[in-house]
Amino acid sequence: MNDFPRTAAMMARGAAFLGSEHAILCGAMSWVSERNLVAAISNAGGFGVIACGAMSPELLDREIAATKALTTKPFGVNLITMHPGLFDLIEVCARHRVGHVVLAGGIPPKGSVEAIKAFGAKVIVFAPTLALAKKLFRSGADALVIEGSEAGGHIGPVATSVLAQEFLPELAAEHLVFVAGGIGRGEGIAAYLEMGACGVQLGTRFACATESIAHPAFKKAFFRGNARDAVASVRVDPRLPVIPVRALKNKGTEAFTAKQIEVAARLDAGELDMGAAQLEIEHFWAGALRRAVIEGDVEHGSLMAGQSVGMVSKEEPVAEIMAQLLAESEAALLRRAA
């Protein structure tokens, strides 16, 4: 007997697709979503996703193998579309028979969806507009994550609540749509399930779980942070293809502004083209996030966090967070049924 029957019924399509007990994904978080957190999420009945980030194929190979050693449950791999070795990374996923690949960070390049489906894996994509979402489904995507600007990390300009109203009525009956961004409690999960989502994706709420390898100083910054402290980065030069990033405000926020000015000057001097400029910016983030997550430099590193950070107040095992979210969702659905 399921402890959360209403939630389980509304998540049934998403859970069947993921092969997990609950349709709750822990969104890939660079440096944070490695073997320990990913396995803990999947072992707790959710769906963990390895953040490949800027990893080489060799590193990804090791991370997948190490995750498999910690869980027999399904998990996915998140690949960034602009990674120069994307097809080699897909090859690694194929060798490991990874069941689900999430393509993040832009429109999937030609042939990537096909290459993933060729070894039998499911493809999960992001789409900033409804038109693009429909196009991606037509091109073979199996599921979609809509992620609002409340989220931690790289963000689009539109709030989750608006995206949900725009996308779910059009797509949810025929397609699998997961909602992400700003979800910190089960009441939020219940609301999106009622709107037609087949499941949800959370990042910030899981980043400081006991099993997360994030540095204690990184976790402490999250416990202290409030929604209003998790701010979107500012774009200094309109020419630069800078995707805004939401993070807790610190000295690193100012360093990013300085980095943009430096990259713009090198663009003017002809030392970089637009593609190289974007890669440079992304490498900056990867390095800054590593400094905070791994080294604990919470002053100068990047503390990527969503607005739900205010709902993260202590270190808890993943299984407890998961049970709490499900109980809150169930209670909300029960209240509405009464």
Ligand X SMILES: Cc1cc2nc3c(=O)[nH]c(=O)nc-3n(C[C@H](O)[C@H](O)[C@H](O)COP(=O)(O)O)c2cc1C
Q: Are 183 and 200 in contact (CB under 8 A)?
A: yes
Position 150 contacts ligand X (CB under 6 A): yes
Position 191 contacts ligand X (CB under 6 A): no
Interface mask (CB under 6 A) for ligand X, residues 276-315, using x and -? ----------------------------xxx-x-------
Residue 177, SS3 per DSSP: strand
> Which residue from 55, 163, 202, 318 is in contact with ligand X, where contact means CB under 6 A?
202
Position 147 contacts ligand X (CB under 6 A): yes
Helix axes 86-95, 57-70, angle to 10 degrees: 30
Nearer to ligand X, 55 or 115 (CB): 55
Nearer to ligand X, 41 or 267 (CB): 41
Instruction: Provide φ and ψ at 73, rounded to 5°.
Output: -85, 160
| Among 26, 254, 276, residue whose Cα is nearest residue 152 | 26
Residue 307 CB partners (closer than 8 Å, separation 6+): 150, 182, 227, 230, 246
Q: Is the dihedral of CA 331, 144, 207, 163 positive or negative?
A: negative
Q: Are 122 and 14 in contact (CB under 8 A)?
A: no
Stretch that binds ligand X, among 54-62, 187-195, 203-211, 268-276 (CB under 6 A): 203-211
Interface mask (CB under 6 A) for ligand X, residues 89-108, using x and -? ---------------x----
Residue 306, SS3 per DSSP: coil
Q: How far is the CB of 291 from ligand X (least distance, A)?
A: 12
Stretch that binds ligand X, among 26-34, 130-138, 233-241, 267-275 (CB under 6 A): 26-34
Task: Provide the β-strand partners of residue 143.
Answer: 124, 176
Stretch that binds ligand X, among 4-12, 117-125, 199-207, 314-322 (CB under 6 A): 199-207
Q: Are 250 and 229 in contact (CB under 8 A)?
A: no
Nearer to ligand X, 161 or 272 (CB): 161
Q: Are 240 and 260 in contact (CB under 8 A)?
A: yes
Position 204 contacts ligand X (CB under 6 A): yes
Position 78 contacts ligand X (CB under 6 A): yes
Q: Are 123 and 113 in contact (CB under 8 A)?
A: yes
Q: How far is the CB of 170 from ligand X (least distance, A)?
A: 21
Q: How far is the CB of 265 from ligand X (least distance, A)?
A: 28
Q: Which residues bind ligand X (CB under 6 A)?
A: 27-30, 32, 51, 53, 78, 104, 147, 150-153, 180-183, 201-205, 207, 304-306, 308
